Structure formats: C-alpha cells, structure tokens
Amino acid sequence: MFRGSMVAVVTPMRENGELDFEALARLVEFHVENGTDAIISVGTTGESATLDFEEHIRVVRRTVELVKGRIPVIAGTGANSTSEALHLTRRSMEAGADACLLVTPYYNKPTQEGLYRHYRLIADSVAIPQILYNVPGRTACDLKPETVERLAGIPNIVGIKEASTLERLLELVRRCGDRLDVYSGDDAIAAEAMLGGAKGVISVTANVAPRASHEMAAAALAGDRARTEAVNERLAELHKALFLESNPIPVKWAVNRLGLIPPGIRLPLTPLSEPFRPAVQAAMQQAGVI
C-alpha cells in the first residue's frame, strides 16, 4: 500500500516552542518537490511525546491539508495507553490521514498477548490502514515475529516498521511479507533491507536529503544493487551523524541549517551540542545537500 522513502518529518517549532505552521508548509512542499513517497506526521521524529492531544491532531490535519492528496500522509498515533492510542487513531482518521503508525506501548512492558490485544482492539475499532512500529531500543518493549504473524491476518494491519536489526527485518519478510509490508525503521540498514524484500524505509535521513533517499529506495525496490549502493554511500555519514545525540535533536538542527525551519525544540530535548555540529555539517556536505 505504501512504498519507498517515507519521511518521519520533524515538527517545526519557534524558539519558544510554539508550533510553526508556515514552516510546516515549506517542509511539505520541499518533500513533494524532492520525491518523498509519503509523510509520517507526528511520529517520534515529530516530537509526539511533547505535543498534547489537540496539538497532535492539529499538526496531522494541517499536514493533510497542505499535502492535498499528492502523497500519502501517515499519522503517528501510538501511545503506552491503549485508550489514548485508540483516541489518536480515530481522530487522525477523522483528520484525513491515509494510515496510522502505532509504536508499541512504551515503558509499561506489556506481554506479547497484551501487545496482540492492544493492536487487535485498535484495528477492530478504527477502519483505517494501520502500521505496527517496533523500536525496542526506545520503548523497552519488543514485538516478536510470532506476534506480528498473529496480527498479519487482520485486514487493516497493512505493515510493520521494524527498527532493530537487519536479521529481524529479513525474518519478518520471510514470515509474513506476503500478508503485510515490512519497512525499515533504521536508515543505516534500509538499503539492504529493501534489497532483501522490505517495501520501504520510514526515514530520518529523508528530512535532510529527500531526493537521494527517494533515489536510493527506488533503486533498491527495483533490485538495482549497484545503484542502491552508490546512492547510499553518499548518505552513509548522514545516517550516523543524525544519531550523534537523541533523535530528533541532530535532524532538527540539520533542517534548520537548510533554512526550512526555526531552531525550536521542546524540553526535555535541547538543541544540538556544539561539539557535534561540525560532524553533522560534514555529513550534509558529503550528501550534497549544502
């Protein structure tokens, strides 16, 4: 249903932390013009953890309005409370999102049965395409392949964003790639994942280098290893540099450096530390974006 380079877009904020919808309009046009295949609104990179419910839905709704149907908009609607995730998913569908991305419930460490019931309830309750999201390094929760297999039979669960290891990604492709689409949640392994059967990447790097990210994904999905590796080589340092501090700290600094957004970021996140700025800038230069 969704393919290619899908950007987990930053949420623009002014220095005082207020949402900046004029900058959001610039970002949307930047991505449409540079070939981004879908926009993920208010995911982890979009600082979902620091937006309240009404802000969250405002950003999703405005993104949908700005995109005007040119590419899909996927709303981040995960939460560690099933009722909150259900509320955000329903409201995002009403706001016009094409699909929702639901991170595993974080911090409270549910069982695999709890995860199954959580996702099953939301899918049964809200008739919008839904993408599972597993990122155990941030959530202290791991959605196991056997649980994904159970969920793959639910008609509106259409994919999974896996942000752990290449081995896990390829295992998911083998186990249930015929029933749901598998997406890499890690830019550093996305090329190999797509060459191995994944259908796309939900990308941080695409915030900064959308054209190259799109070209790399298109080449990988076409099975062109040489072209995939050549483009990905330009992006390799950017994949690393954008995680020198916690995401989205480095990527917001980089997108500000491109002149697209103000420098705002909300506490407890802070602006990129001075010692890391030269490395991010050098990676942007290697990628050819500055």
**Which residues are catalytic, by number?**
133, 161
Distances (CA, A) of 168 to 108, 184, 189: 23, 10, 11
Beta bridge partners, 38, equal 6
Distance CA 141, CA 191 (A): 25
With CA atoms as reference, report the closest residue to 5 among 220, 152, 168, 150: 220
Dihedral angle computed from the Cα positions of residues 147, 142, 74 and 45, in that order, rounded to the nearest 10 degrees? 180
The amino acid at residue 1 is M
The pair phi, psi for residue 204, each rounded to 5°, is -85, -45
- Are 222 and 194 in contact by the 8 Å Cβ rule? The answer is no
With CA atoms as reference, report the closest residue to 204 among 190, 194, 225, 219: 190
Distance CA 184, CA 254 (A): 22
Distance CA 184, CA 161 (A): 6
With CA atoms as reference, report the closest residue to 183 among 229, 236, 221, 136: 221
Cβ neighbours around 149 below 10 Å, total:
14
- Are 265 and 271 in contact by the 8 Å Cβ rule? The answer is yes
Rg of the chain's alpha carbons, rounded to an integer?
Answer: 18
Q: Which residue has the tokens 């990122």?
A: 135
Distances (CA, A) of 149 to 42, 86, 171: 27, 22, 11
